[in-house]
């Protein structure tokens, strides 16, 4: 059973939380701790969270991971 991996990123706003929540609602699981970094070029904090999901379909680089 293949495991898919995604790294979700966004500015440190509620939209990031919604993005992660939507992934969890689709069956993705948190992988590791969230990350935070200051984006000096844009003057904002950025968040990141890795998520994984086991799937029955064979992995293909053409897969749209957000649709899984």
User: What is the predicted pLDDT for the residue at 27?
Assistant: 95
pLDDT in tens, 5-64: 999 999 999 999 999 999 999 999 999 999 999 999 999 999 999 999 999 988 889 988
Confidence (pLDDT) at 65: 87
The DSSP element (H or E) to which 61 belongs, if any, is none
Q: Residue 66 — very low, low, confident or very high, per pLDDT cuts 50/70/90?
A: confident
Contact 12, 20 (CB under 8 A): no
| Calpha distance 28→22 (Å, rounded) | 9
**Domain locations along the chain:** 3-56
């Amino acid at each position: 059973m293949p495991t898919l991996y995604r790294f979700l990123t966004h500015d440190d706003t509620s939209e990031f939380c919604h993005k992660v929540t939507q992934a969890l609602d689709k069956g993705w699981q948190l992988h590791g701790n969230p990350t935070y970094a200051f984006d000096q070029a844009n003057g904002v904090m950025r968040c990141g969270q890795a998520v994984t999901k086991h799937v029955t379909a064979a992995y293909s680089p053409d897969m749209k991971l957000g649709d899984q």
